[in-house]
């Protein structure tokens, strides 16, 4: 009966995969075929033990603690303890993020939430002595009104539902606020991105993080400017330590061959502003 129902669905409600264009033959709220979902894999290879950047093979670099470490983190320790992403910001994972973020395909949040839950489970052994407060990176109120939802919060909520049994995680969406709009990050150097984010975030409820660890959640880690500024503000407000979990990360090897286009909306605004 299940097979018959799916055949009837495909006949009466024909649709194509939003990623590859192949006809969908299974009943699902998410318009993505099983092959495309199966093609999204966790990031592989040797990674920096702090920021998650891909390291050259063989990874001969290490910090004073003996852990694999990129040159950037060796030169300047980030304000977060460790950042970890599920996969590389390319292909199907990038497309899934965009389906949720820009095309309002909200069922994608459940699939992305499962991926983020794997990241949280990998970080979990480091959560000591207490369970951290989960804080999603916020949108500016005007952007939130325009989009109607914060994709980082949606994915964080979906991931927390799948948490390990021993972790009593809760999402605190209003701890951190974005109090000013920032210019498009597209085309900015790393230093310019850092300056662009300076002062953009504010801890509205410091009592909820004072003396506690924080698990900061975002959809994409590009240069780390956004999560670093959030972590810096959280630490200043009293957080004892900040961990970062993201769905995707742009690796330097990928950025070297393409312009960083993490926000198509910002790209269009930037192009319009420059004629």
**Residue 230, Cβ neighbours under 10 Å: how many?**
27
Q: Residue 229: which residues within 8 A CB-CB, separation 6 or more? A: 194, 197, 198, 200, 201
Q: What is the pLDDT of residue 260?
A: 39
Is 47 in a helix, a strand, or coil? strand
For residue 38, being part of any structural domain is answered with no
Cis omega (within 30 of 0) for bond into 77: no
**Residue 164, Cβ neighbours under 10 Å: how many?**
10
For residue 199, being part of any structural domain is answered with yes
Q: Residue 259: which residues within 8 A CB-CB, separation 6 or more? A: 186, 187
* Distance between CA atoms of residues 8 and 64, nearest Å: 62
* Distance between CA atoms of residues 87 and 84, nearest Å: 9
* Distance between CA atoms of residues 226 and 207, nearest Å: 23
For residue 26, being part of any structural domain is answered with no
* Distance between CA atoms of residues 257 and 173, nearest Å: 35
Q: What is the pLDDT of residue 208?
A: 96
Q: Which residue in 179, 96, 169 sits closest to 135, CA to CA?
A: 169
Length of the chain: 275
Is 275 in a helix, a strand, or coil? coil
For residue 40, being part of any structural domain is answered with no
Task: Give the pair of three-digit tokens for residue 188.
Answer: 């900015």
Q: Which residue in 41, 102, 108, 151 sits closest to 264, CA to CA?
A: 102
For residue 25, being part of any structural domain is answered with no
Give the chain's end-to-end CA distance (angstroms, integer): 57
Q: Decide: 213 and 133 in contact? Cβ < 8 Å.
A: yes
Q: What is the pLDDT of residue 213?
A: 96
Domain range spanning residue 229?
Answer: 78-273
Q: What is the pLDDT of residue 25?
A: 82
Q: What is the pLDDT of residue 184?
A: 67
Domain with residue 161: its CATH number is 3.40.50
Per-residue pLDDT of the chain (275 residues; tens, 9 = 90+): 554 444 444 444 458 999 999 998 887 889 999 999 999 999 988 899 999 999 886 555 777 777 888 988 988 999 999 999 999 999 999 999 999 999 999 999 999 999 999 999 999 999 977 889 999 999 999 999 999 999 999 999 999 998 766 778 999 999 999 998 877 666 777 778 778 788 899 999 999 999 999 999 999 998 899 999 999 999 999 999 999 999 999 987 544 443 334 444 444 443 333 33
Q: Residue 269: which residues within 8 A CB-CB, separation 6 or more? A: 184
Q: How many domains does the chain fold into?
A: 1
Tokens 């965009």 correspond to what residue? 98
Task: Give the pair of three-digit tokens for residue 120.
Answer: 């949280």
Inter-axis angle of helices 190-197 and 225-236, nearest 10: 40
Q: What is the pLDDT of residue 2?
A: 54
For residue 155, being part of any structural domain is answered with yes
For residue 248, being part of any structural domain is answered with yes
Q: What is the pLDDT of residue 21?
A: 93
Q: What is the pLDDT of residue 273?
A: 33
Q: What is the pLDDT of residue 227?
A: 96
For residue 68, being part of any structural domain is answered with no
Report pTM. Answer: 0.84
DSSP helix, strand, coil percent of the chain (3-state; round to 5): 40, 15, 45
């Amino acid at each position: 009966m299940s097979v018959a129902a799916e055949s009837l669905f495909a006949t009466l409600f024909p649709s194509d995969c939003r990623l590859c264009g192949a006809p969908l033959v299974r009943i699902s709220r998410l318009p993505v075929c099983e092959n495309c979902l199966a093609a999204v894999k966790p990031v592989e290879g040797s990674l920096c033990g702090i920021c998650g950047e891909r390291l050259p093979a063989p990874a001969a670099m290490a910090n004073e603690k003996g852990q694999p470490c990129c040159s950037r983190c060796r030169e300047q320790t980030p304000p977060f303890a460790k950042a970890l992403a599920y996969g590389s910001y390319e292909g199907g994972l990038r497309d899934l993020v965009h389906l949720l973020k820009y095309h309002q395909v909200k069922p994608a949040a459940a699939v992305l939430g499962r991926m983020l839950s794997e990241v949280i489970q990998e970080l979990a052994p480091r959560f000591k002595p207490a369970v951290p407060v989960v804080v999603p990176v916020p949108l500016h109120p005007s952007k939130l009104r325009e989009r109607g939802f914060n994709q980082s919060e949606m994915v964080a909520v979906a991931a927390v539902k799948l948490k390990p049994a021993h972790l009593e995680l809760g999402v605190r969406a209003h701890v951190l606020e974005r109090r000013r709009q920032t210019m498009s990050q597209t085309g900015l150097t790393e230093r310019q991105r850092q300056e662009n984010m300076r002062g953009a975030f504010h801890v509205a409820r410091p009592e909820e993080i004072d003396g506690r660890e924080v698990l900061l959640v975002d959809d994409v880690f590009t240069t780390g400017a956004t999560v670093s500024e959030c972590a810096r503000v959280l630490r200043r407000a009293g957080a004892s330590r900040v961990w970062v979990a993201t769905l995707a990360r742009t690796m330097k090897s990928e950025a070297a061959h393409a312009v960083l286009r993490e926000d198509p909306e910002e790209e269009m605004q930037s192009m319009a502003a420059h004629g």
